[in-house]
Structure 1
Amino acid sequence: MASLFTKIVKGEVPAYKVAENSQFLAFLDVRPNAKGHTLCIPKKEVDKLFELEEEMYQELLRFTRKVALGLEKTVSCKRVGMAVVGLEVPHVHVHLIPLNSMQDMDFSRNQEMTEEEFQELADAIKENVVL
């Protein structure tokens, strides 16, 4: 059975996309720790980060860096944090979280946003990501 993220890649489930190329996709987390919380995934479904082929692993990090730089230009924060946990969805995903305090990395704290706020933010980040 396809993961939730594979369904997003296939367009079966909507997402607030901020960047995309032939191998990778970045979209806003719908349960964000902080405004701008973004997920970067390979389009190919692989369960664990270290199961990725070496080249895809390196390319995912390059893609993630570009998204993080765009995110940092868009959302006011001290820095963009990165985390790979991988327990909720069996599909490799890198969390990019705008940080102003350590509490922003607390995955039990989610911020509420409207659909309009998500879309406006996604569009703003998209303008600042250079692939």
Structure 2
Amino acid sequence: MADTAYDPNNIFGKILRGEIPAHKVYEDEHTLAFMDVMPQGEGHTLVIPKAPSRGLLDAQPETLAALMRSVQTVARAVKAAFDADGLTIFQFNEPAGGQTVFHLHMHIIPRREGVPLKRHEGGMADPEILAGHAARIRAALN
């Protein structure tokens, strides 16, 4: 069985501590949203709680409530910023569930009719493109 303890040295923990840069789009007291560096579509954004939670099952209810408020706020901005027909929102738990970073996070991906998602392992996106996408989402938040 996999180790299910929270490891504060995961990449999202490092982003929260400012040890690794991220293209941030939204932040409040409890959450942070930033661009996924391996996007499955234009505008693919992640929202994470600041509280240390490995996944959905170990998060405190208050953490989940704050996370979902931010997911809704950011999702509205992502949809508007990319003039999307809809959104796909993912959340994975543990390796068997598809989780690869063991800090609770939600994926928000704007969708257009007939355009399939790219593979998540498709490589790192151009940082300038991510910066532009982040700016579009921040503008839609205002």
User: Scaled by the length of structure 2, what TM-score is found?
Assistant: 0.82
Structure 1: state its 5+ residue gaps. none
Residue-by-residue CA offset, 1:74-106 (whole Å, 9 max, x unaligned): 0132111111014101100000011124732x5
Structure 2: state its 5+ residue gaps. 1-6, 94-98
Count of equivalent residues? 129
Moved more, 12-21 or 55-64: 55-64
1:88 aligned to which of 100, 104, 113: 100
RMSD of aligned C-alpha atoms?
A: 1.9
2-structure distance, mates of 1:109, 1:88: 11
**Per residue, is there more helix in 1 or in 2?**
1
| Runs of 4+ displaced beyond 3 Å | 106-113
Change (3 A) 1:52 1:70: same
Matching residue's letter, 2:15 = I
2:67 aligned to which of 54, 60, 63: 60
Moved more, 73-82 or 34-43: 73-82
Helix, strand or coil at the partner of 1:90: coil
User: Scaled by the length of structure 1, what TM-score is found?
Assistant: 0.89
Matching residue's letter, 1:99 = R
Larger Rg: 2
